[in-house]
Amino acid sequence: MKMSTLTLFLNLLALWGYGQASLTVLNPDQQWHTEQGSIEEATITMEPKGIYLDVSLYLTFSYEGTNFGYYDSLEMALNFTLPEEAAIYDSWLWIDEVIVKADILDRRTATNIYEDIVDRRQDPSILFKMDAGQYQLRVYPFTQEQRRKVKVSYLLPATWTAEQVLADLPMEIIQASFLPLEELAVRVWAGPEWGLPHIPELPARSFYQGNHPDLGVFYEVMLQGQEIKPGLTLSLDAPLNDGVYVNHNAGLQIFQVVALPGQLVELPAAPPRHLLIYLDYKPDNASNFFKEDLLAGLHQELQLGLMEQDQFQVWATTNGQPAMLSEGWVSGSTAAIDEAFENLSLSAFPDNGRLNNALFHALQQADALGQETAVLLISNSQNEGDPWSAGDLVDNLSRQDGFSLATFYAINYQNKNIQDWWDWWGPSEWRGNDFLYTELALLSGGTYRRSGQFRYKIRKALESAVRLRGAVELQTSLENGICYNRFTVGGSTVNVPLQRPVYQVGRYQGFLPFRIEYLSVVDGAPLFTTRVVEPQDVHTIDTLAEEAWAANYLLSLENSNQGDATAQEIVESSIYYRVLSLHTAFLALEPSLGGEPCIGCIDGSNGGEFPVFSTEELAAEDPLIRLKALPNPFTGQVQIQVELLPGGAGAEYQFAVYSQMGQLVAVLEPQLLAPGQETILYWNGAAADGSELPAGIYFLVVQGPQGRAQLKLVKVGD
């Protein structure tokens, strides 16, 4: 097996699964044989972090139900998408009863190590960012008796409204499984300001309260069978204060702001929208995604995204002219939307319709209407993907009456069979119907998003179709200090929907309170207001504030014109902040290849704590304590130097030694530490009962009031 061949083949897997999510099993020695893998167990944990939700996805993979041989040593490739503004910051791989916490390396180094290990049949996992919002996780090896467990952690941008904070559950990853998942645990940690979590699409299901021994009180719901479906969201209360939410981390001096323009200034009435929605469904291109899922997701997003003065029609593609599913034009009010979807008939929504007929039909409708019309294409077709034929189709459409009035917003939910002969000849825009959607959006002034889940794409399309637009500025400062290195989450502030919340993350120096100045300009008329947020109204956020800031910094670099210097800055910053980028990868190795225990890492999926291994060479996780061992490696006895740095809490600290497999082998005398003071203690390499321990790798773990720190110790034979 050649490494270059493996890399090429797995990159092609990423092409095939780009639409939503795919889970593929293959034999690295027989790369032409691929089948769909399965997820046997899954847990989703979530915790609000201001603009973002901290999401961890625990998955147990198998290749049950495939036709591979019993003794085949196989590889699993999970391709999935997240919103472009999301950021992956951690990856774990279970090896037997221990956990490996992935190191982050530059992409070339990580790939070479991974492929070399696959050649040698040892345990690694690797996680790439393939493109904006598109990711690939590869795990090796599997045999038929094995189950491989992983965790991926990421920051997910939430959707804020005046009443609630919404976040998409990663259901399309769950739905990538060949065998349907029987149950799914959703576990939420949230303070009282966020209210009780619930899933709006499952109103009959309630979260119950539990208590994790290390992570504290949480809320959990266990979904069963048919409840595990696409389009689910988590809803929390929006802890806004006069239209604004602010949090900060005082130690890192990083802040986040959410501002709802409609609660800050009196915006002009938005012009009404006319929205034509065309639904297109190809069953062969949908894995575990049905018409009912499509309609339910659309229903929910129209309720969130339309105003009463808006009007819409729903059409379905057929082999002839599109069929109207709604009864004429429907108002954007909640009651009218509910009534329209109650009356929709699936019998009028056939499979395998002709999308090109729908495109011409949309132009005829826009021309007859005689005014600006938003056209929402929701399709999983690739029949129009041939770029040469698609180019002719777009040229023909652009010459039709009504084209100047229509703005196309394309949503592609294809998650199966994304492979056609033109993939091998063209750039990335030529996969599936990409070329058609990209050209239509570009020529008409609409949008086409590749990344994110199905409902997220509809949400962003409806947001982009808002006709009340203008320039927006959010200036943040301190009454006694400055704010700097600010980033607006979501990009541009020029010609944007004015009703859209403004999300900002940045750094500061100085002291609270915060001063927030909001300015929007509509048709040359400015709207301005100021809010002063007092210290008691500013929420706190943990150290993930730094990953959130770094995610925006890296995204700004990735979206710039990248030269060598920019690429190097991306690599260095990605590694420093442990946030995945286009030029880095998370690599997890088995302990014998360099894994190190991270005793303080906690498995949030099962209520217990497991020893965790990290491939990183870190002397201590806690930056407030410095540990040094002399000599190291050692034979009979090792001297351990401990220094509590400024900012550390003076207190009694506990010292313990763990084996490479995470077993407690020795407990040292507690030490009373004070900032700036160095303490010396010794370990003779023996177990707690005095017996001699074998040569090998051990880990000193220090527990104090501000967390844990660790140091690798290497004992060698005489």
Mean pLDDT, residues 125-135 taken together: 93
Asked if residue 481 is part of any domain, the answer here is no
Residues 6+ apart with CB under 8 A from 149: 41, 58, 59, 60, 61, 93, 94
Poorest-confidence range of 172-186, 442-456, 659-673? Answer: 659-673
Query: Are 627 and 657 within 8 A, CB to CB?
Result: no
Q: Quote the domain boundaries for residue 695.
A: 618-715
As separate numbers, helices (DSSP H) first and strands (DSSP E) second, the chain gives 12, 41
Among 221, 219, 212, 217, residue whose Cα is nearest residue 604: 212
Please give the pLDDT value at position 624.
Answer: 75
Q: How many CA atoms lie within 13 A of 88 on its CB side?
A: 29
AA letter at 538: V
Where is pLDDT greater, at 381 or 9? 381
Q: Using pLDDT thresholds of 50, 70 and 90, give the confidence band for residue 430.
A: low
Provide the 10 A C-beta neighbour count for residue 713: 21
Six token digits for residue 617? 């060479």
Number of domains present in the structure of the chain: 2
pLDDT in tens, 55-86: 999 999 988 877 776 666 788 899 999 999 99
Strand partners, 686: 692
Q: Using pLDDT thresholds of 50, 70 and 90, give the confidence band for residue 476.
A: very high
pLDDT exceeds cutoff 60 at 621: no
Name the 3-class secondary structure at 2: coil
Q: Rounded to an integer, what is the distance from CA 617 to the centroid of its chain?
A: 27
Asked if residue 575 is part of any domain, the answer here is no
Asked if residue 15 is part of any domain, the answer here is no
Query: Are 428 and 434 within 8 A, CB to CB?
Result: yes
pTM to 2 decimal places: 0.81
Six token digits for residue 459? 């949400």
pLDDT exceeds cutoff 50 at 402: yes
Please give the pLDDT value at position 718.
Answer: 62
Burial of 335 (0-12, 13-18, 19+ CB in 10 A): exposed
Residue 218 gets the label, from left (phi > 0), alpha (psi -120 to 50) or beta, of beta
pLDDT exceeds cutoff 60 at 616: no
Separation between Cα atoms, residue 168 and residue 301, nearest integer Å: 12
Query: Are 518 and 264 within 8 A, CB to CB?
Result: yes
Separation between Cα atoms, residue 45 and residue 48, nearest integer Å: 11
Please give the pLDDT value at position 520.
Answer: 93
Q: Rounded to an integer, what is the distance from CA 458 to the centroid of its chain?
A: 17
Asked if residue 136 is part of any domain, the answer here is no
User: How far is residue 706 from each of residues 65, 191, 212, measured CA to CA in Å?
Assistant: 48, 20, 19
Please give the pLDDT value at position 619.
Answer: 37
Please give the pLDDT value at position 115.
Answer: 80
Among 237, 203, 205, 201, residue whose Cα is nearest residue 221: 205
Query: Are 81 and 450 within 8 A, CB to CB?
Result: yes
Query: Are 326 and 279 within 8 A, CB to CB?
Result: no
Asked if residue 373 is part of any domain, the answer here is yes
Asked if residue 393 is part of any domain, the answer here is yes
- Max Cα–Cα distance, the chain, nearest Å: 91
Mean pLDDT, rounded, of the chain: 87
Q: Using pLDDT thresholds of 50, 70 and 90, give the confidence band for residue 689.
A: confident
Residues 6+ apart with CB under 8 A from 364: 401, 402
Asked if residue 127 is part of any domain, the answer here is no
Please give the pLDDT value at position 600.
Answer: 62
Mean pLDDT, residues 95-123 taken together: 80
Q: Using pLDDT thresholds of 50, 70 and 90, give the confidence band for residue 709.
A: confident
Task: Annotate 37-48 with DSSP letters as a single string.
Answer: -EEEEEEEEEEE
Q: What is the dihedral of CA 28, 33, 36, 42, to 10 degrees?
A: -20
Task: Give the ranges where 232-333 is alpha helix by DSSP (H).
Answer: 261-264, 291-305
Separation between Cα atoms, residue 349 and residue 344, nearest integer Å: 9
Separation between Cα atoms, residue 255 and residue 247, nearest integer Å: 6
Phi first, then psi: give them for residue 524, nearest 5 degrees: 85, -5
Query: Are 599 and 662 within 8 A, CB to CB?
Result: yes
Percentage of the residues of the chain whose pLDDT score is greater than 90: 57
Separation between Cα atoms, residue 110 and residue 587, nearest integer Å: 6
Q: What share of the chain is helix, strand, coil (3-state, %, to 5)?
A: 25, 40, 35
pLDDT exceeds cutoff 70 at 6: no
Please give the pLDDT value at position 419.
Answer: 61
Phi first, then psi: give them for residue 707, nearest 5 degrees: 130, -160
Please give the pLDDT value at position 596.
Answer: 62
Six token digits for residue 274? 């006319």
Strand partners, 586: 104, 127
Please give the pLDDT value at position 425.
Answer: 56
Among 625, 509, 610, 709, residue whose Cα is nearest residue 58: 610
Asked if residue 360 is part of any domain, the answer here is yes
Mean pLDDT, residues 512-534 taken together: 93
Pairing status of strand 274-280 against strand 311-316: parallel
Q: Using pLDDT thresholds of 50, 70 and 90, give the confidence band for residue 121.
A: low
pLDDT exceeds cutoff 80 at 202: yes
Residue 580 gets the label, from left (phi > 0), alpha (psi -120 to 50) or beta, of beta
Cis peptide before 141 (omega within 30 of 0): yes
Six token digits for residue 594? 């360099």
Separation between Cα atoms, residue 158 and residue 2, nearest integer Å: 43
AA letter at 200: P
What CATH number is given to the structural domain containing 325? 3.40.50.410
Separation between Cα atoms, residue 25 and residue 14, nearest integer Å: 13
Please give the pLDDT value at position 677.
Answer: 86
What CATH number is given to the structural domain containing 708? 2.60.40.1930
Separation between Cα atoms, residue 15 and residue 415, nearest integer Å: 11
Please give the pLDDT value at position 492.
Answer: 76
